[in-house]
Structure 1
């Protein structure tokens, strides 16, 4: 690893008229300044063509969107570039330098650090300070400080270093190098021959290494990397050649629209900027998988374990957790009215951010026909009769392995249907279903005989 390499509730305040140009680009005008939009996976990017310093740009993005742009993949790079096809200058993104809170250990293994050990620091008074420009790496001072404290130095300096070589009976083992290298070379050496550059998790380990090094100032594994404004831990970087820069006071990153590459710029410089909003994919495959007279079972594809759902219908909302396993999500809506259409809208939810939602219309099964009976019989036919339900509910009659579709007649009287060409003196079983929007009731059966 090279030291130089490696969410939020949006509120659309102050927006003017929005013109939808196509499925990927929108053009919005904010107080006369052009703003363009593009999508990449779950992020929606906005180019704001107003020149502000980095901190002011961050404030606008957090007020009107989610934050300054976090860029995690080359697909995100392409999406950012597509927001302003006619602009070739630079624009702020969310990556910035922070002197005190951006220090990391080279050994990036969370199980290695106990509570509070990852953030243990033993700074020399006044450090870190970027005294001679950006100083992104840390040495343990031996020559001039009997307390063996730390200070920040330029990573290109050459000195001895301490490697971590695992544990022996639960005690960390450290090895002092017999060569002098710059910080990045020292990191590569330790990773090749041992485990990593030394992490110092507490004062006891600081004392152990101090005794080991005698009078040599040495590199340890602490280094500083830029942070994302929204707190993302993404290691993705897309620097131009020679970047990030080494000039003092250069702390914030800007993307160049001609190349998509990133540059260090003074945070006080005024540039346009890229904001983003987090968007969620809608659940796919929403459908009614089963119905009866009083319930509808809905089914859709799970997104992941951390994405839950909200189901809206009849003016109410139901929160639905993502189930364990890889199968689809099933949810049954009960206490419904038979033979009724319902509109269901499903949103996926992550960290209180909702997707745009997807809707379906599904119907409950109608009630069974009432008073189903034989009205008359002769030697070759049986006339069946039952009560009509309403004009939109039809019927299916099953007997002898056949089905007959029967429409609901006009008027309010009962429904009659004569089954002919039967055999005299024979018993027949008839099953009658009511049908609403292709959904059948559970069915009711009778036995009737010809004369």
Structure 2
């Protein structure tokens, strides 16, 4: 991570800055007590340093340059709001029950800065703070009986941590005391010694951050200040630099340098993809204010986007992308050169349309479609008659084939095919395809003579034409206007000869299955007549049927 080092004057002091996200840390080389350092940080920055993780801890070290010694951070003992119950279930506590206390006079005292666990004092039954390693009897919470809390006194000396473990393994947890009724019930148990309950103290961060990250030096915290001349127990925390590393608890009146932080701007809300095509992605997010700009990080390149005038969301389109690809974008808010920790979104380009969408086969009730596969990650949706069918990408190469059934013969249909990648669709490609028409009904021979045959069949509709196949030659016959059967005469035939005719219905250049008929021309016949006028005989030929 790139870091900036900046030198700024503060009452003549040396100041350096290192930034992490979401904290920007400032080392102030002026020796002050912890309380005075806190006041300076709150006045000029945000607060004394809060450290949430190892990355933050490294950035704090980077802020100090070559300094050797200790510097205040924001961790300290706060004996009002830093107490917690071992049973950490917010639903278990009603209004005011998390903060119920029954302290004895002068408690909590944090004697020698090392009393972080709470027990009932054997003489008064009131609450005292003790060193957590002390060995006491303890009270476990065992649920409810008839809507009343049940407590169990365990007469076995254990440290607070061991008592907590025992209660969690055998009951529910160390006892939480939510009100005076439960307090009195525990006080009434037949105890003769101090007993642990579930309350314990956690060091707090100056800004109220709940982070539990700690980087204590070996043997820390020990409850003692490093300077034995200071009379108060160690209740504040200093980070060591140079020859020593880690955190130390120190007397808060010690005067040493300190680390402040400034929080970067908040992240933008609603960072999302609102549109995409094969080569671009459109991103959108909510505006923060007129003073907060943005930096979009994509593929190692940063794009500065200024805050626009007016309200409403910001929109930015990233172009020159690859179809059907997932990309990651990081958006930083930026105010006075300070950045937020960034918010990420994954976005995808639309996949390319499938190539080669075509009708590959058909019959009277189905159409077979075929198209080229794109890749193993791109699926398809076929839209037909308002219904969508999901078709997953198959293994292997080669085209995809899909059959649409239960169709009507001789009908044109429109199909739209979408490619789908990560739930984003292409713009779709359309095709018109037709079912094969039905065969003509009633194909028959209706008349004939020595040289011709007349065929007849039922009309299907005005859109269905016909092709008659005879002796290797096809004759196109269009559908006539009006109703009634179609009639077609085949001429120049040989008398007394059997012929085979095949008729196809044709719709949009798609043919039906064939229907065939055998038909025969009329035979020749010979007659002799007497020409009375010429008184001579002549021979004449007449065509006779059959």
Per the normalisation by structure 2, the TM-score is 0.50
CA contact (8 A) 2:22 2:264 kept: yes
- Specify the alignment match of 1:25 in structure 2: 4
Give the alignment's Cα RMSD to 1 decimal: 3.5
Residue 271 (1) aligns with residue 287 (2): no
Q: SS state of the match for residue 163, structure 1?
A: strand
**CA separation in 2, counterparts of 1:319 and 1:120?**
46
Q: SS state of the match for residue 157, structure 2?
A: coil
Q: What displacement does 1:69 show?
A: 0.3
- Specify the alignment match of 1:160 in structure 2: 137
**CA separation in 2, counterparts of 1:204 and 1:281?**
45
CA deviation string 1:255-299 (max 9, x = no partner): 012354100111111111111111147659899969xxxxxx973
Q: SS state of the match for residue 78, structure 2?
A: coil
Q: What displacement does 1:33 show?
A: 2.2
**CA separation in 1, counterparts of 2:20 and 2:4?**
12
Q: SS state of the match for residue 213, structure 2?
A: coil
Q: Which has the larger radius of gyration?
A: 2
Q: 1:282 to 1:246 in 2, by over 3 A?
A: closer
**CA separation in 1, counterparts of 2:271 and 2:89?**
39
Residue 63 (1) aligns with residue 40 (2): no
Residue 233 (1) aligns with residue 210 (2): yes
CA deviation string 1:85-144 (max 9, x = no partner): 3112111000011233322212211111110000000111221123455321111124x2
**CA separation in 2, counterparts of 1:238 and 1:298?**
43
Q: 1:126 to 1:287 in 2, by over 3 A?
A: closer
Q: SS state of the match for residue 311, structure 2?
A: strand
Gaps of 5+ in 2: 225-231, 294-305, 318-330, 343-546
**CA separation in 2, counterparts of 1:112 and 1:38?**
42
- Specify the alignment match of 1:242 in structure 2: 219
**CA separation in 1, counterparts of 2:283 and 2:109?**
58
Q: 1:104 to 1:83 in 2, by over 3 A?
A: same
CA deviation string 1:153-192 (max 9, x = no partner): 2222211001112333433222111311121221222222
**CA separation in 1, counterparts of 2:159 and 2:334?**
47
- Specify the alignment match of 1:86 in structure 2: 66
Q: What displacement does 1:245 show?
A: 1.8
Residue 49 (1) aligns with residue 26 (2): no
CA deviation string 1:178-207 (max 9, x = no partner): 311121221222222222211100011112
CA contact (8 A) 1:310 1:349 kept: no
**CA separation in 2, counterparts of 1:203 and 1:154?**
25
Q: 1:308 to 1:236 in 2, by over 3 A?
A: farther
Q: What displacement does 1:32 show?
A: 3.3
Match of 2:109 among 124, 129, 133: 129
- Specify the alignment match of 1:252 in structure 2: 236
Match of 2:157 among 173, 180, 196: 180
CA contact (8 A) 2:135 2:158 kept: yes
Gaps of 5+ in 1: 1-21, 291-296, 321-328, 333-345, 358-451
CA deviation string 1:51-93 (max 9, x = no partner): 1111111111111111000001011111111112311211100
Match of 1:150 among 121, 127, 133: 127
